[in-house]
Amino acid sequence: MVQQVLYRALVSTKWLAESVRAGRLGPGLRVLDASWYSPGTREARKEYLERHVPGASFFDIEECRDRASPYEMMLPSKAGFADYVGSLGISNDTHVVVYDGDTSGSFYAPRVWWMFRVFGHRTVSVLNGGFRNWLKEGHPVTSEPSRPEPAVFKATLDRSLLKTYEQVLENLESKRFQLVDSRAQGRYLGTQPEPDAVGLDSGHIQGSINMPFMDFLMEDGFEKSPEELRAMFEAKKVDLAKPIIATCRKGVTACHIALAAYLCGKPDVAIYDGSWFEWFHRAPPETRVSQGKGGKA
């Protein structure tokens, strides 16, 4: 396992409330609301405009992605990411805190945490407990949109944290990486459908291990302790001393696996960005495992 001093991946609601109260938000500390919801459920930007952490900007994951890709939520280019976060007042010297408004406590925030890290930014944290607990604890909110002074962000792609279809395909033979899937068990097994999906059956990549991302969170929306997280990896026979690739449907909840491992002292979990959506459309049928539809997805 890599021995290095890791930047804190989580900050508490109490710490952020004190930072807001002390007027620390600015070029050195930026807060992002990274909420996203399935179409027809909730409207993330509308909710941000109604109430958010004072000083927070809205991080629109629909804007900050590769919109030319046929696959879901793929990473933007280095230049695209740099321009987007620079417009939010974020430079390479900024501590970024990310949260979302999901009822689980955290859903999309770890994806944005990983996006900053894959583009070379170390000083990024997730708000532990999310906006759900910020509200529950009575911390201040505002409807006033933030207008940060634009900054210059220089992005460098850390390829060790990102895996492609070709690399995952090669890994089926080499087995150098453990492949861990963060989707709910039914979707992984192929016994439950993929939500909001047309032409996408459920199932999983051959050889992958299932660790549903919701299991990393406590019922109150806070992240489980490193000791509990380590025991979860051990129970699934996932060795934190060896390389891991995390996957899901579109590279979002896979980032919860990366975050959980990071909290256990392992900062090098790579994300298969295309995940099941790309795999289903590109991979040989025998590598798509499902308990539905006669055993293949």
**Domains, the chain:** 8-135 (3.40.250.10), 160-287 (3.40.250.10)
Are residues 257 and 223 in contact, defined by beta-carbon separation less than 8 angstroms?
no
Task: For residues 135 and 154, give the distance between their C-alpha atoms in angstroms, rounded to a whole number.
Answer: 34
Strand order across the 178-181 sheet: 162-163, 270-272, 244-247, 178-181, 209-210
Tens of pLDDT along 109-150? 999 999 999 999 999 999 999 999 999 999 999 999 999 999
One-letter amino acid identity for 106? Answer: S
- Supply the pLDDT for residue 243: 98
- Supply the pLDDT for residue 2: 44
31, pLDDT greater than 90: yes
**For the chain, percent of residues with pLDDT exceeding 90:** 89
Q: Is 255 designated active site?
A: no
Task: For residues 182 and 252, give the distance between their C-alpha atoms in angstroms, rounded to a whole number.
Answer: 9
Residues 6+ positions from 114 with CB-CB distance below 8 Å: 161, 255, 258, 259, 271
Mean pLDDT, the chain, as a whole number? 95
Give the active site residue among 64, 248, 255, 264: 248
Instruction: Please compute the mean of the pLDDT values over residues 67-90 and round it to a whole number.
Output: 92
Task: For residues 232 and 275, give the distance between their C-alpha atoms in angstroms, rounded to a whole number.
Answer: 22
- Supply the pLDDT for residue 1: 44
Task: For residues 198 and 39, give the distance between their C-alpha atoms in angstroms, rounded to a whole number.
Answer: 14
Beta bridge partners of residue 124, listed in sequence order: 96
pLDDT bracket for residue 297 (50, 70, 90): low
